[in-house]
Amino acid sequence: MNNTIETSARIVVRDVLALKKGEQFLIITNPSEDVMAVSRALFDAATEAGAEPTLVIQNEKTQLDFANKAALASFGAMPEVCASISANKMGKDRAASEKPLQLGDQSFDHVFHYQMDGLRSLRAIWTPGITVDMFCRTAGIDYGLLNRRCSAICDILEGADRIHVTAPGGTDIVVPVAGRKPLRDDGDFRSGGTGGNIPAGEVFISPLPGKSEGVIVFDGSISLNEGDMIVENPVRVVYEKGFITSVTGGLEAEKLLASITAGEKTAFQFERDGKLPAGEGAVRSRNCRGLGELGIGLNPHAEIRGNMLEDEKAFHSCHFAIGSNYDNDAEAMIHLDCLVRNPTIRVIYPDGSDAYIEKDGMLSPSLEAIQ
């Protein structure tokens, strides 16, 4: 599939976000050619739909940088919809990092998450590293089929005790998930409090902190603080009691370890600078070696190309994230997604029974048969 950029934008505005007449649509982007082109296409499609889009441009940010204050001030208008169409990341929220936003017993270190996850007034998409080619190939998919497959996999993961993942490259790890709820990026972000990537197409779950045991061999692609890269020399990562004890391999392993170390150092620096509460630096530094996510790629048009936004959605793969999780009980300065090819994913329940989501990278027959 290869739609025009205009067609893909209309599908996202209609089928993913369901933009309505008069809704405020905030688009935060960077000057880079590809993200600007996608942003403009979404701006035009939103205008056609009768919404009121606003385009905000800031320089490119990494996950260790702060967003521009003026860009985040746009959330003061309480937009119903937001699109972060970034070359890398939106950037951290300086004010909320120093003084988290409170909602009852919930605490948020970014106004974006406060409005989407807390107030649930915002629905959103985010596209770190999107290209025009990727947007045209992977955004205009059959979201009904994707939703049905995501639902079936979430049903399998409900009530799981642990997940055993193996792969031909050497991965062999047990990931405890008791009590965790599976999450989905299925492209259905039509109501407040929902959001996810474009391209969409994954089911993911947060491992219990401090519990995972085994070896992961990343042989697809890896995320780094400075960008993503295809793996030529597999990276072997050992987890003991939920935390990394070694990272070995070639140049890729050195780069991955450098990104982890940078996250650890940044946590302490943020605390020294008053950007994190006292004591939080040590917590977030340790969590830079935690296991934050296990995800399963489900977008039929995604390929492994060295751009994690697309790579992690590719069929015949799963990914693990080093750093922050999605249950907000193990926050870190980094969230580095890294890919494993052709996994076997076995879900084990408290009574010892099991179910397979994939074997050697292929969806189980019942999942493959969903139409």
Q: What is the pLDDT of residue 18?
A: 97
Per-residue DSSP letter, 128 = T
Rounded to two decimals, the pTM is: 0.85
State the Cα torsion 163-164-165-171 to the nearest 10°.
130
pLDDT at 1: 65
CATH number for 115: 3.40.50.2300
Q: Splitting the chain (371 residues) into consecutive groups of 10 residues, what average pLDDT does each group show?
A: 90 96 98 97 98 97 91 97 95 93 93 97 96 96 94 98 98 98 95 95 97 98 93 98 97 97 96 91 97 97 94 96 94 96 98 98 93 81
Q: Domain of 233?
A: 142-368
Q: Are residues 90 and 188 in the same domain?
A: no
Predicted pLDDT of residue 64: 82
Q: How many domains does the chain have?
A: 2
Q: Are residues 20 and 159 in the same domain?
A: no
Residues 35, 174 within the same domain:
no
> Which of 84, 100, 133 is where one domain is finished?
133
User: Do 76 and 120 lie in a common domain?
Assistant: yes
Residue 333, C-beta contacts closer than 8 angstroms, at least 6 positions apart: 63, 64, 263, 264, 266, 267, 270, 284, 285, 288, 323
pLDDT score of 2: 77
Position 352 scores a pLDDT of 97
Claim to verify: residue 13 and residue 127 sit in the same structural domain: yes
pLDDT for the residue 371: 81
